[in-house]
Structure 1
Amino acid sequence: MTQQLDFADVNDQLPPQNIEAEEAILGGIMLDPDATQMLADTLVAEAFYIQAHRDIYQAALQLSLQHKHIDLLTVTSWLSDNDLLVRVGGRNKLANLVDRTVSAVNIDGLAEMVMDKYHARKLISAANQILKLAYDESVPLAERLDAAQEKIFSIRHETQTDKSVRMNRDISVINFAEIERISQGEQEPGISSGFYDLDTLTAGGFHPGELIIVGGRPSMGKSSFAHQLAFSIAKEYSAPTMIFSLEMSGEEINKRFLSSESGIEMSFLKSGKLSNNQWESLAQAVGDMDKVPLIIDDSTGSTPLQIRSKLRKAIAQHGQVKLVVIDYLQLMVDSSSNRLTQMIGHVTRELKLLARECNVPIMLLSQLNRGVEDRNDKRPMLSDLRDSGRIEEDADIVLAVYRDEYYNSESPDRGIAEVSILKNRQGATGTIKLLFEPHFTRFKNLKR
């Protein structure tokens, strides 16, 4: 089905097209029987600007699907049988296409040119649709903005799909070069968490494109842990990180950072009763925040689409983002819905795709089932992830935060937090121990 593009109000300019390239492609298809098969996955019929060219290409695609030989005779016959031969210009039109084509050697390059023109036309059409949206005040502004962004992003996504198909040998060369850079110390193996035992188990830290789930029961410190990672990575790499907080305000999160950086307990910051030395430490901590390019979004009810839009905008404005933290999954869906499992699965899948699209690790916090409380050993397991097995399926890494002293006042591990790697698609699983200082809401490495 041909998509109708909107080219209204473009000052009578001719939409982008390359007729010569279209003709050369069609001629090459009828010269080389294998050409259609090579183009079928990358060149769509709608990309041809001339309707007759679409019909001819569609004829070649149909013949290819039927495993029939493709040449001037078979294409002519198919068009005639489907009452399209006259519409495309008759036999002479097809013969001229073949006569004017030398070979099909560069047909893939020509196809790329035609697709570029097609996407440019789609961009013009989208711009006109966005203009109409802007005038439609019957629709809330936020919905119009989301719709406008989605129209642009969908075109962008189409232009990137072909890059995912590569020869294995080419990927091997890329991997060899990366391994060599890591071996020579020119590139880090991953984005360091700042916790050496965690980096060891995750093969050097977090990696672009990963979806990392951090689970834990309430009061275990999962939010503090994830927020601290975002802060420390932004500080260490002088590169932007992002926190999408659907529960805590930006002021609350920042106050935790000020407590950790200044060494002033949260209770003093909340009461405002500080000594002169503490005021100096606090002022120094506030000044140091200028060096930490951490972006906090505390909008409630954020959707994957909204997060995608804000992430791409941050990358455009501030450069490549090192880590995205989303706190937390269950607040992104309607908990009263009878489709909760499907909704959560949709969110995790969309965020996994976003991590790959933007080449950034995304850390998604998740609640654990209350069933944990009924066990003698309350250490989390994979099966404790709340509401959906899809969380486990989509995750590259699943971390769980646990503090034994919360349940056992006589615990020998007072002041200790366990971070368990319950799933690790690219490495080992296991448990590490960290110091936890609740007065400063911060985690530290244990001394070796």
Structure 2
Amino acid sequence: MTSTDAAVVTASPEAEAAVLGACLMATPARDSVADAARIVADGEWSVPAHDLVWLAITRLHGAGRPTGLPMVESELRRAGDLERAGGMLALSQLAQAACGSGDVEHYAGLVHGYAALRRYQSALVRGMQGARQTDPLAVPEAIAAHQAELEHLTGAGQDSDELYGRFGDHLDAHLDSLAKSVSAAAVTGLTDLDALMKLMPGQMIVVAARPAMGKSALALGIATANAATGAPTLVHSLEMGRAEVSNRILAARARVAFHHLRDGVDSMTQDDWDRLDQHAPALRSLPLWMDYNVTISPARIRSRIKSIVRETGRAPLVVVDYLQLMQTDQRSARQSPYERVTEISRELKILASDTGSTLIALAQLNRGPEQRADKRPQVSDLRDSGALEQDADAIILLHREDYYENESSRAGETDLIVAKHRNGPTATVTVAHQFHYSRLRDMAQT
């Protein structure tokens, strides 16, 4: 048998026994359990009995109790796992296989490494299975999902030591950072909203409303205003195609009536053409990327962000219009809308944190506002998942009084209700809507 024919080794029961044995022999002077726990995670043991023993050891250790052989046997018996763990004989054999206390981290590294290898192989198997089942028109999305899974494996556990330590170890560096000016990672283009909220890297902002409140107008306005500062910006438009988005941006920036652009040459005036000619050069040069694919998943967004970072050296502001139309990377037909939105919400928050992007996700509200006398939306109206409220760093709800009251004294006004703001105050910012130009503007600019 050649070396290429030999089966790939994906586990070391001997290394696992050495680590567990050292934990069974741990003393107050040398805490082998803590040394192993810094490296090995639950579920990384290849032998099921070893996993049961480890869980019993960590339960005892977490409660401040000894992890010697008698205590572990008692804990396994209490949990009903002693027989499945091999009984007292198996525990005695583990104790005999113990490595020295100074070698625990080495053997624990082997256990963790083999577990990572098994995850890697499983990911490759899933990739092959996905390739066999993928629609030919969805190959880019399947590749992006597989890349995201592999990237997750690459980064798993690598930053744990950097993110762990005594509070005081980093306090001086943090105090020094407070003496420096902190610039926003992105701008909305609305003066009062930018004053209230400083958009920072890693944030996920949810903008939610009932239909016809102006979510898309707000999102495209933020995207173009941010890009106009020279900052890279990425928009995923799942609801509107290229022509409609282009018309909306042109209408907002050039102040050409949206319905003129929609109806085409028969409705266009010479003034319209002059305005378009005046603003087109600036729009062409914007660092604004658009994705009109209707099959967007978190993995595809991550792939787009990486591409922009390679080109510009900066993480972009990302706008998703809108979240409930997205697909999950798993694409399970058995997922309920609640489960799907919950998964997407969590993945988008992780994506923003991992890439350093500021992410604005639009979302639909349920019919809750229509049931209230004042029609004002609330965070509890977010449709399909409470995870959006939990994961979002800020939530902005849009409300138009004149939509519900024809004779309203606030005609032309939109309230941007900052209902959640993890890093600052909540408040309501009032702006003017000019939907004939498909835009929202500061009140002072109307």
Q: Does 1:254 align with 2:253?
A: no
Distance 1:318 1:116, change over 3 A: farther
Out of 333, 348, 352, the residue aligned to residue 351 of structure 1 is: 348
Out of 232, 245, 253, the residue aligned to residue 237 of structure 2 is: 245
What secondary structure, in the 3-state scheme, does the structure 1 residue paired with 2:375 have? Answer: coil
Q: Distance in 2 between matches of 1:190 and 1:233?
A: 9
What secondary structure, in the 3-state scheme, does the structure 2 residue paired with 1:220 have? Answer: coil
Q: Does 1:394 align with 2:387?
A: no
Q: Distance in 2 between matches of 1:444 and 1:179?
A: 33
Match of 2:444 in 1: 447
What secondary structure, in the 3-state scheme, does the structure 2 residue paired with 1:406 have? Answer: helix
Out of 186, 193, 206, the residue aligned to residue 191 of structure 1 is: 186
Q: Does 1:331 align with 2:329?
A: no
Match of 1:282 in 2: 276
Match of 2:418 in 1: 421
Q: Distance in 1 between matches of 2:408 and 2:348?
A: 38
- Would you say the 8 A contact 2:187–2:225 is kept in 1? no
- Would you say the 8 A contact 2:365–2:383 is kept in 1? yes
Deviations 1:205-260 (A, max 9, x none): 22233332212222221111012112222221422x22222211132112211222
Match of 2:81 in 1: none
What secondary structure, in the 3-state scheme, does the structure 2 residue paired with 1:193 have? Answer: coil
Deviations 1:50-91 (A, max 9, x none): x9xx999997886565554679xx9xxx999545988x9x96
Q: Distance in 1 between matches of 2:59 and 2:305?
A: 42
Q: Does 1:223 align with 2:221?
A: no
- Would you say the 8 A contact 2:185–2:200 is kept in 1? yes
Q: For residue 323 of structure 2, what is the amino acid of its counterpart?
A: L
Q: Which runs of 5+ in 2 are unaligned?
A: 73-84
Report the CA distance between 1:431 and its aligned residue.
1.2
TM-score (norm 2): 0.72
- Would you say the 8 A contact 2:413–2:431 is kept in 1? yes
Match of 1:321 in 2: 315
Q: Does 1:300 align with 2:283?
A: no
Report the CA distance between 1:341 and its aligned residue.
4.2
- Would you say the 8 A contact 1:238–1:291 is kept in 2? no
- Would you say the 8 A contact 1:234–1:322 is kept in 2? no
Q: For residue 393 of structure 1, what is the amino acid of its counterpart?
A: Q
Out of 135, 140, 150, the residue aligned to residue 140 of structure 1 is: 135
Match of 1:4 in 2: none
Out of 146, 149, 152, the residue aligned to residue 150 of structure 2 is: 152
Q: For residue 302 of structure 2, what is the amino acid of its counterpart?
A: R
Out of 189, 200, 224, the residue aligned to residue 207 of structure 1 is: 200
Distance 1:62 1:214, change over 3 A: closer
Q: Distance in 2 between matches of 1:349 and 1:175?
A: 28
- Would you say the 8 A contact 2:16–2:45 is kept in 1? yes
Match of 2:180 in 1: 181
Q: Distance in 2 between matches of 1:344 and 1:129?
A: 23
Out of 369, 372, 397, the residue aligned to residue 372 of structure 1 is: 369
Deviations 1:18-70 (A, max 9, x none): 9xx99998999778631332331432598799x9xx99999788656555467
What secondary structure, in the 3-state scheme, does the structure 1 residue paired with 2:251 have? Answer: helix
Q: For residue 199 of structure 1, what is the amino acid of its counterpart?
A: D
Q: Does 1:264 align with 2:256?
A: yes
- Would you say the 8 A contact 1:385–1:391 is kept in 2? yes
Report the CA distance between 1:188 and its aligned residue.
0.7
Q: Which runs of 5+ in 1 are unaligned?
A: 1-7
Match of 1:5 in 2: none
What secondary structure, in the 3-state scheme, does the structure 1 residue paired with 2:179 have? Answer: helix
Distance 1:171 1:23, change over 3 A: farther
Compare 107-116 and 289-298 and name the one that shifted more: 107-116
Distance 1:382 1:125, change over 3 A: closer
Q: Distance in 2 between matches of 1:16 and 1:344?
A: 35
Q: For residue 255 of structure 1, what is the amino acid of its counterpart?
A: N
CA RMSD, 1 decimal: 4.6
Distance 1:173 1:85, change over 3 A: same
Distance 1:117 1:338, change over 3 A: closer
Q: Distance in 2 between matches of 1:170 and 1:350?
A: 31
- Would you say the 8 A contact 1:60–1:70 is kept in 2? no
- Would you say the 8 A contact 1:119–1:159 is kept in 2? no
Distance 1:169 1:254, change over 3 A: farther
Q: How does 1:19-38 map to 2 (within 5 A)?
A: 33-38=30-35
- Identical residues among aligned pairs (%): 26
Distance 1:173 1:46, change over 3 A: same
What secondary structure, in the 3-state scheme, does the structure 2 residue paired with 1:159 have? Answer: coil
What secondary structure, in the 3-state scheme, does the structure 2 residue paired with 1:351 have? Answer: helix
Match of 1:360 in 2: 357
What secondary structure, in the 3-state scheme, does the structure 2 residue paired with 1:212 have? Answer: strand
Q: For residue 356 of structure 2, what is the amino acid of its counterpart?
A: N
